[in-house]
């Protein structure tokens, strides 16, 4: 079984440059709890280039979230903003960095029973 958080951070670092973050510079530390210990993932963004390491380094923004919730975020099953409003995600420092990084989180996966939205003209209802 693949670890969604590990996979997310590995792919984030492997890709190196992210055009959606080309105007962003800063550091974010993710403190993931709920496993009997706290995992620390440190991301450094420099005009789109993202590096990921582990550690408790000082960061411009610190995100505290339960590991299970973060797994849901990085797989698209949990919406970051909704989780924040429910108090499941705590952000300290420069919130704008998380907003920018959120662009790289996947969208909601398609549900097996969902039909694709029709294209073209709309049907009016009265």
pLDDT in tens, 3-60: 999 999 999 999 888 998 999 999 999 999 997 899 999 999 999 999 999 999 999 9
Does some domain include residue 120? no
Does some domain include residue 108? no
Does some domain include residue 57? yes
Task: Note the pTM of the prediction, 2 decimals.
Answer: 0.82
Contact by Cβ (8 Å): 45, 24: yes
- Secondary structure of residue 89 in the 3-state scheme: strand
DSSP 105: S
| Number of domains comprising the chain | 1
- Secondary structure of residue 63 in the 3-state scheme: strand
Which tokens in the block code for residue 13? 């670092």
Give residue 38's domain range: 4-103
d(CA 57, CA 36): 21
Q: Which residues pair with 50 in a beta bridge?
A: 45
Does some domain include residue 115? no
State how far Cα 4 lies from the chain centre.
11
At 17-32, the pLDDT tens digits run 899 899 999 999 999 9
């Amino acid at each position: 079984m693949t670890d969604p958080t590990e996979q997310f951070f590995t792919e984030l670092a492997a890709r190196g440059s992210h055009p959606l973050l080309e105007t962003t510079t800063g550091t974010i530390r993710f403190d993931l709890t709920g496993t009997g210990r706290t995992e620390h993932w440190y991301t450094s963004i420099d005009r789109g280039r993202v590096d990921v390491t582990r550690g408790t380094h000082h960061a411009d923004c610190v995100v505290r979230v339960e590991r299970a919730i973060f797994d849901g975020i990085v797989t698209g099953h949990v919406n970051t903003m909704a989780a924040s409003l429910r108090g499941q995600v705590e952000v300290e420092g420069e919130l704008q960095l998380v907003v920018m990084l959120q662009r790289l989180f996947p969208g909601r996966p398609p549900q097996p029973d969902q039909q694709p939205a029709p294209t073209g003209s709309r049907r009016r209802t009265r």
